[in-house]
């Protein structure tokens, strides 16, 4: 995966994924709201970049993926735009708003239990039985390059804003595709930049994996406890993990109440609707602001697909 690959992805997704703004937020802080993408999250970047590179024969065979929601929606949208059949394996506890988004774009949904390994196994079965192309949410170079286009935009937009100092970028990390892509792009353009992952303490498998310098799994019974459903990865995926080991400057941890507080702050101060996973990096920015290096700081807000009723409960503090 090279910077040239990420630049090529940036051209490929033009007109499908939007160039989200870099919003000034408080003093010296910036927000990159990927919640404003057409499917409500950054995932459209990687999904479209991957599907657009399929051969005509591969497109004819269709695609299958496994996802708790945002990647599912992105694959469904990219497949519809490219006229490709798509099958999505989702957990039966996926947020309704994400399930509805997948259905609206015409993808076929197969429900399994809540554990990540169930989704992965079923998707592989379908791919093998039906001859479909498996497009994972993170463990794919094409997907990672698509997500990396966020990093290109961050560096460009800071220059446009007249900011010359190397940035400190915070990115939510689940399976690791987003963080790997953003780190590769940002550091490819600004080697003096710093990039940190942000992870819930209740699902800190990437944090532990980097500390141990080997992929370390957390049982789904533990990771399912976090409100950030998009960050319940259980273990980093092998392809992005190889890049995270080399490029990431560390992983900071946030608590559940800090994620919810960040959702409220985003709504009140930035007028942004964020899902818990999308608010994790803002929570990390606020919590660890005194521990991070000096310089302009950017929080990548990964998505805003949250059930409306659940969202209101969280804002009001009435959620169970």
Residues identified as active-site:
43, 302
C-alpha to C-alpha distance for 249 and 275, rounded to whole angstroms = 25
Of all helices (H) and strands (E), which one includes residue 58? Answer: helix 56-61
| Cβ contact 269:215 at 8 Å | no
The gap from C-alpha 193 to its chain's centroid, in whole angstroms, comes to 20
The gap from C-alpha 212 to its chain's centroid, in whole angstroms, comes to 23
Tell me which residue has tokens 């220059």.
159
Radius of gyration of the chain (CA): 18
Per the rule left: phi > 0, alpha: psi between -120 and 50, beta: everything else, 297 is beta
Reading the block at residue 232, the tokens are: 């319940």
Q: How many CB atoms lie within 10 A of CB 16?
A: 19
Reading the block at residue 308, the tokens are: 């409306």
| Cβ contact 216:208 at 8 Å | yes
Q: In the chain, helix, strand, coil percent, each to 5?
A: 50, 15, 35
| Cβ contact 75:51 at 8 Å | yes
C-alpha to C-alpha distance for 137 and 129, rounded to whole angstroms = 20
């Amino acid at each position: 995966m090279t910077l040239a690959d990420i630049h090529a992805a940036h051209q490929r997704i033009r007109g499908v994924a939007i160039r989200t703004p870099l919003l000034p937020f408080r003093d010296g802080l910036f927000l990159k709201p990927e919640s404003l993408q057409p499917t409500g999250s950054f995932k459209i970047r990687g999904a479209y970049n991957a599907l657009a590179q399929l051969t005509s024969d591969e497109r004819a065979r269709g695609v299958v993926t496994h996802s708790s929601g945002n990647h599912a929606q992105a694959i469904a949208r990219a497949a519809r735009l490219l006229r490709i059949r798509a099958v999505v394996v989702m957990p039966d506890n996926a947020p309704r708003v994400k399930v509805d988004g997948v259905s609206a774009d015409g993808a076929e949904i197969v429900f399994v239990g809540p554990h990540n390994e169930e989704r992965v196994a079923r998707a592989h079965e379908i791919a093998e039985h039906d001859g479909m192309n498996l497009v994972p949410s993170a463990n794919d170079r094409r997907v990672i390059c698509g997500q990396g286009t966020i990093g290109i935009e961050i560096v460009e937009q800071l220059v446009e804003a007249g900011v010359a100092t190397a940035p400190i970028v915070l990115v939510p990390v689940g399976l690791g595709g987003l963080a790997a892509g953003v780190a590769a792009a940002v550091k490819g353009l600004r080697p003096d930049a710093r990039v940190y992952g942000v992870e819930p303490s209740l699902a800190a498998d990437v944090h532990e994996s980097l500390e141990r310098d080997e992929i370390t799994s957390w049982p789904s019974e533990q990771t399912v406890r976090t409100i950030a459903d998009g960050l319940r990865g259980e273990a980093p995926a092998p392809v992005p993990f190889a890049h995270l080991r080399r490029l990431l400057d560390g992983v900071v941890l946030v608590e559940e109440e800090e994620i919810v507080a960040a959702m409220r702050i985003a709504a009140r101060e930035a007028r942004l609707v964020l899902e818990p996973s999308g608010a994790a990096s803002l929570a990390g920015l606020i919590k660890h602001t005194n521990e991070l290096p000096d310089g302009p700081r950017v929080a990548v807000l990964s998505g805003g697909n949250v059930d409306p009723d659940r969202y209101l409960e969280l804002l009001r503090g009435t959620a169970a």
